[in-house]
Structure 1
């Protein structure tokens, strides 16, 4: 799994939670770091923040599609914006979660998106 967020605190908290649930994951500071990681390893699930310094999550979804990434991408954001959510889903995200609800919903999200 990959956690893509420019906030190191969010990445560390989510990594710790995922590891406690038995999952290996890497942290990426932004889009470029994620794309570089995908060249080196297979990533089965991506947690992707909406807003980052090197581009937004919608742009990243497009880049992932161009690189034929097939795994699920879950967008997370502090913004509760139905229009952005719809754009993300249309661009290929499998889900959208508010950061405030991410940790509460994490077990359910993992079960739902790692079934394949």
Structure 2
């Protein structure tokens, strides 16, 4: 049974989340306190965190920052009453996997939680592990592991999914809309900036020079293409 940690300072929202997520088959832990949330993430090791942005003791952005600084790649879905683009983009840049604005439909929350866990955790422990080798980059598709020149690369679940989809479609130009649909599995409110943010994160982690990427190339006016430029130059 997958474990969800829900963090919100509104008891009614926690009650709603707990009831519906448990009904959907999840174990649910709740807290109204941000500092306790940090402790629970360390001790309970949840499979996913639903994290309110506005908390009284320490806000959700700071909690998310601490999670990622500790190299913890647990999927995080931000919950907020705010709708400003700046807050959404900041959360994504800090490593959030998804973003839901209040008031929300509870069935939407449950659906997104299921989708994220199905894609990021479902096959991690499969014994059959396909690998994709592109230049110095090695991707273990089932183990969710990436190596660059033999060294492990730490990716968030969403960064891994994006990299894997790009690699499986090597050589093809993929639009931002295609990536939103295939990697996030829904139209992210028409906001393709989420793709650009995650592409930037990937480049920082897998490219020797993110400003002159070897693998993830921008196709102006269209989207992105995954390739190995060193390989092409040697042909």
Which of 84, 100, 108 is equivalent to 2:111?
Answer: 108
Q: TM-score, normalised by structure 2?
A: 0.47
The 8 Å contact of residues 76 and 102 in structure 1, kept in 2 or not, is answered as: no
The number of residue pairs the alignment matches comes to 116
Which of 70, 80, 88 is equivalent to 1:77?
Answer: 80
Pair 1:27-2:27 in alignment: no
- Choose 47-56 or 95-104, whichever is displaced more: 95-104
Structure 2 residues without counterparts, runs of 5 or longer: 121-235
The 8 Å contact of residues 21 and 110 in structure 2, kept in 1 or not, is answered as: no
* Partner in structure 2 of residue 36 of structure 1: 39
* Partner in structure 1 of residue 52 of structure 2: 49
- Find runs of 4+ consecutive structure 1 residues off by over 6 angstroms: none
Higher relative contact order (CA 8 A, sep 6+): 1
Deviations 1:79-116 (A, max 9, x none): 11111000000001011101212413123202321022
Cα separation, 2, equivalents of 1:80 and 1:46 = 20
CA radius of gyration, larger in: 2
Structure 1 residues without counterparts, runs of 5 or longer: none
